[in-house]
Amino acid sequence: MTGYYPDGQPGCVFCDIVAGVEPCTRHYEDDETLVFSNVLTWAPVMLLVIPKRHVSQQELWANVARYAEVAVHMGQIHCPEGFRVLSNFGFEGGQSQPHGHLHVLGGRYLGPYVSL
What residues are labeled active site?
101
Q: What value, to the nearest 5°, has the Cα angle with vertex 53 and ends 50 and 54? A: 85
Residue type, 101: H
Residue 96's Cα: distance from chain center in Å? 11
Neighbours of 81 (CB within 10 A): 8
